[in-house]
Structure 1
């Protein structure tokens, strides 16, 4: 039997994301996207996220020392819209619904920016609540051959199964016992799932606003460079967590995996020709030493009734030990708070051993 299709699923919000053969999900670098949905987005304060205009200040734009000196305030008396009271300017910005439109009007002068940045920040906070955030939710990578009656209770509760039976097309048996029409013998019906946004808030705001403004400038000449420079000065949308200090937490079992341990393993392989020689150098896909916490999590949350993966790994990956559990990603500073970590167990070594075993099975050198 060929490998079944697998779907990254949020069982709490009934959302599904990318689907593919399991080997494609694991070995083509989908882990980073999963991490984005599990991060708890902590908004930076207004002044850090949407920066104030400080006349005469020198603003650094990058690590190479590139910067700009902000202009001093104009001595010319304000006229037109700029002369309106702040209350009226607030009312004007409240009628503008898009982040980009608020940014572009606000960046026309210092007075309008002082008002606009508060309204831009408000939209960012609203969008964070509306987009796809899976932190704290039950998630699993579900196979096409999963049968409702074989799914354990931590994957589907009896109430959820009963709802699926009741929601079947006209003519199906809607009783609690639906053996005659085989209701428990099929997969989760398509109607049970709801739509999920294409990307997380962190991912969207980091690029979409910037690119949209440049598109309005038609990517041409001075307009493009002015918009680009203004955005670098005005707005910061970096992900809130440093990548090497993250901790993946299984909230259901109260266990965690340290990203620092994964980074240490990856650097050990990168620094050793002998270790890398144990893998096929011409093998396609993601190398073990380039994996993320998201790739590690993929290996432990799969669930299906049928062991069909089209992979070489012979472990029980199809009924993962963490499937249907709740997860989030937090910063490494959490580890230093003893009152918060009491009762938690570090399972980094166990999880990394499974990750390495899966990659070794798939990418062993020819002839082994």
Structure 2
């Protein structure tokens, strides 16, 4: 069958729905789900609301006027990037008991694990823990939008112009894209090592960049290629072109986020290292091992189709 890998956040006791043999799902597009849990939202520009829209949203719906639109944005932003700043890894199910990256667990977490092992009367591996973690799904609640479409408010909503209805929907039923501007450069940050990777260094073409999301090869593939952890090197990837220790990822158990370059420069004072070129070369070696010397043309043609 082969070794199966799971992307997990132990402190949250959650796993991503994407899993499989590393040599299959690394190249499948599945790693983009990592971006969803790491991307830090940017607050959209707040525009003035027409009086009728303000009345419907802040007085008719179950929201007090003191909350305001900014607080609604804060509410929705709280559901985005749930793993940003938390320790994550991609664990293989051939991992042995007691084998985990240094610093992965706090003392309290280790005590909890020891107590669980006593209850189970058997040693627990990282994979055993991943099996019982909840599957995370990044999505917005629909409470406000449901209220809007209820019989108490729907007639008033329907009487609005198309542009006003669109504005109301943006507030009470927003799209993820509203919080991830595409006109700003984004970076992936390793918060433990203070290293970052630029989107323009990873993207095969500039037009593949859509804010934190990058077509074909993006931040998700970068993270996954460096956070794997197992006692067994079986990864279903040809190791002649890359470091065979991909199963002992140098970033396994580290904390990450994906943020705009502007937010990074605004909030940090200490020195950070740009490892974009190093990571891009590593990614190129892995993809060449899978597709051959002409790997760029092959994967881009696959994207077009």
Pairwise same-fold verdict (TM > 0.5): yes
Max radius of gyration: which structure? 1
- Aligned partner (choices 268, 283, 287) of residue 359 of structure 1: 287
Contact 2:228 2:252 in 1 (8 A): yes
TM-score (norm 2): 0.71
> Matches of 2:288 and 2:93 in 1, distance apart?
26
Classify 1:346/1:121 alpha carbon distance in 2 versus 1 (closer, same or farther; 3 Å).
closer
Hey, what's the Cα distance between the residues in 2 that align with 1:191 and 1:316?
Answer: 22
Q: 1:300: how far off?
A: 0.8
Alpha-carbon distance in 1 for matches of 2:248, 2:94 = 12
Question: Aligned equivalents of 1:29 and 1:128: distance in 2?
Answer: 25
**Partner Cα separation in structure 1 for residue 39 and residue 120 of structure 2:** 43
Question: Residue in 2 aligned with 1:296?
Answer: 222
**Could you say which residue in structure 2 is the equivalent of 1:165?**
114
The 5 A counterparts of 1:61-210 are 90=59, 93=61, 96=62, 122-129=71-78, 133-157=82-106, 159-168=108-117, 170=119, 172=121, 181=122, 183=123, 186-190=125-129, 194-200=133-139, 204=140
Is the CA contact (8 Å cut-off) linking 1:6 and 1:144 kept in structure 2?
A: yes
Q: Does the 8 Å contact 2:23/2:237 carry over to 1?
A: yes
Unaligned runs of 5+ in 2: 152-156, 209-213, 295-305
How many aligned positions are there?
273
Written as runs of structure 1 = structure 2, the 5 A alignment for 1:217-366 is 229-234=163-168, 235=170, 237=174, 238-242=178-182, 245-263=185-203, 266-267=204-205, 290-314=216-240, 315-334=244-263, 340=268, 342-364=270-292
Query: Counterpart of 1:110?
Result: none
1:277 corresponds to which residue? none
Instruction: Tell me how far apart the structure 2 counterparts of residues 343 and 166 of structure 1 sit (CA, whole Å).
Output: 41
Structure 1 unaligned blocks of 5 or more? 56-69, 71-80, 97-101, 103-114, 173-180, 218-222, 271-287
Normalising by structure 1, we get a TM-score of 0.60
Q: CA deviation at 1:187?
A: 3.7
Note the C-alpha offset of 1:147. Answer: 2.2
The alpha-carbon distance between structure 1 residues 344 and 131, as it changes in their structure 2 partners (threshold 3 A), is closer
The SS at the match of 1:328 is strand
Residue 258 of structure 1, CA deviation:
1.0
| Deviation of 1:304 (Å) | 1.1
Q: Is the 8 A contact 1:248 1:258 kept in 2?
A: yes
- The change in CA–CA distance for 1:191 and 1:261 in structure 2 (over 3 A counts) is closer
SS in 1 for 2:284: helix
Secondary structure at 2:5's aligned position in 1? strand
For residues 25 and 227 of structure 1, what CA distance do their matches in structure 2 show?
Answer: 46
Structure 1, residues 247-281: CA drift from partner, whole Å, max 9, x if none? 11111001111112223xx129x9xxxxxxxxxxx
> What does residue 36 of structure 1 align with?
36
The reply to whether residue 53 of structure 1 matches residue 2 of structure 2 is no
Q: Could you tell me how far apart the structure 2 residues matched to 1:308 and 1:326 are? A: 25
Q: CA deviation at 1:143?
A: 1.1
Distance in 1 separating the partners of 2:108 and 2:6: 22
Q: Residue 8 of structure 2 aligns with which residue? A: 9
User: C-alpha displacement at 1:169, in angstroms?
Assistant: 6.6
Question: Once the 2 structures are TM-superposed, how far is the Cα of residue 194 of structure 1 from its aligned partner?
Answer: 4.6
